[in-house]
Structure 1
Amino acid sequence: MQKISIIVAMSNNNVIGINNTLPWHIPQDLKRFKSLTMGNPIVMGRKTFDSIGRPLPGRKNIVITRNEDSIIEGVEIVNSINSLLALIKDEEHVFVIGGEQIYKIFLDHATHLYVTEVDSDVAGDAHFPKLSTSQWKEVGREKLVSKDDLHFSFVDYIRQP
């Protein structure tokens, strides 16, 4: 069975971004992101790609955009969820990395969630949908503190059968 994982960092109030950037800088989170996604396809929306600014090395980069004329070197472009699902159908493990609209679409398709819960309420203009505890089972939690004294947890979920 194909594994579709969402990987996201969010605050207590479900904020994931502000002005196309992350509202925090947590090196441990970036290291975990790289470790989990390396060697696997990553799916993102155009705004997320623009915020990163380049294809991420060591991964197949797939961008969903409504702009059918988009051509980005090192990136596969798809214009619909159906064309994306056709493109990834033979992939063993795919990571969905954002942003807000892409997360909303894929939450129903995801089998796993890798969440960095940032213990803070922050202002933002992009949010992660509220998780249904009846649909997701927590299978791992690691509490950490950044060098800037920001408390956060790595929390892993699997979809309930």
Structure 2
Amino acid sequence: MRLVSVAALAENGVIGRDGEVPWPHIEADVRQYRERVAGSPVILGRRTFDSMRDDLPGSRQIVVSRSVETVDVPTAVAAGDVEAALDRAREAVTEEGVETVYVLGGGSIYELFQPHVDGMVLSHVVGVYEGDTRYPAWDETEWEVVDEVDYEAFTLREWRRRSAGE
């Protein structure tokens, strides 16, 4: 199973303000994000899940929450912690015959799963924005950019964690 975090972040690492992205809507970024995660299981926090209820991403949603034991959406399951979410993700990969599970946030979920992810697909948004949520810092010596595509308002970079000894 590959575990890949997907996020959009400003030049200063900000990913959100009051539960929303702090920059103007970027349709190309939303489109590429939706296409990427459409057929795969996703891991997300309860608040992120609740904010997306009208248009849930992914084929199955694994909702990480210490306060919710079940969710009322047929494609979603709850997990109380990282290990439970990873177990649910492994089950989903086997049942659905896919390889990748995506981590979609919010901020604390990215932080919790950062030590476990094999890859990151990050939309580096042009500009510095005020916000209350940041993407976790990472040691770039442990990562390499394996693909990069420039768009008008952002650069999409796919990062891969280096193997030991690389």
TM-score normalised over the length of structure 2: 0.87
Q: 1:159 aligns with which of 148, 158, 161?
A: 161
- The residue number in structure 1 matching 2:79 is 78
Counterpart of 2:6 in structure 1 is 7
Tell me if 1:41 matches 2:41.
yes
Asked if structure 2 preserves the Cα contact closer than 8 Å seen for 1:138 and 1:158, the reply is: yes
SS at match of 2:36: helix
Aligned residues with identical type, % of pairs: 27
1:106 aligns with 2:113: yes
Q: Deviations over 1:128-149 (max 9, x none)?
A: 012211111011111111xxxx
The corresponding residue for 1:124 is 131
Match of 2:141 in 1: 134
Q: Is the 8 A contact 2:119 2:160 kept in 1?
A: yes
After superposing the two structures, state which structure 1 stretch, 114-123 or 75-84, moved more: 75-84
Paired residue secondary structure (2:151): strand
* Closer, same or farther: CA 123–144 of 1 in aligned 2, 3 Å: same
Contact 1:55–1:61 under 8 Å retained in 2: no
Structure 2 unaligned regions, length at least 5: 94-98
Residue in 2 that maps onto 1:148 = none
2-structure distance, mates of 1:159, 1:135: 6
Q: TM-score, normalised by structure 1?
A: 0.90
Structure 2 CA distance for aligned equivalents of residues 28 and 122 of structure 1: 19
Give the drift of 1:122.
0.3
CA contact (8 A) 2:16 2:132 kept: yes
Where does 1:50-61 land on structure 2 (aligned, <5 Å)?
50-54=50-54, 56=56, 59-61=59-61
User: Quick check: 121-130 or 77-86, which moved more?
Assistant: 77-86
Q: Which residue of 1 aligns with 2:96?
A: none
In 2, the alpha carbon distance for the partners of 1:11 and 1:58 equals: 24
- The answer to whether the 8 Å contact 1:21/1:51 transfers is no
User: Residue deviations 1:36-95, cap 9 Å, x none?
Assistant: 101100110011112223362651011111114443223211111121121112412100
Long gaps (5+) in structure 1: 146-150
Residue 35 (structure 1) shift: 1.1
What does 1:85-104 correspond to in 2, within 5 Å?
A: 85-90=86-91, 91=93, 92-104=99-111
The structure 1 segments of at least 4 consecutive aligned residues displaced by more than 3 Å after TM superposition are none
Q: Which has the higher helix share?
A: 2
Structure 1 residues 69 and 55: CA distance shift in structure 2, 3 A: farther
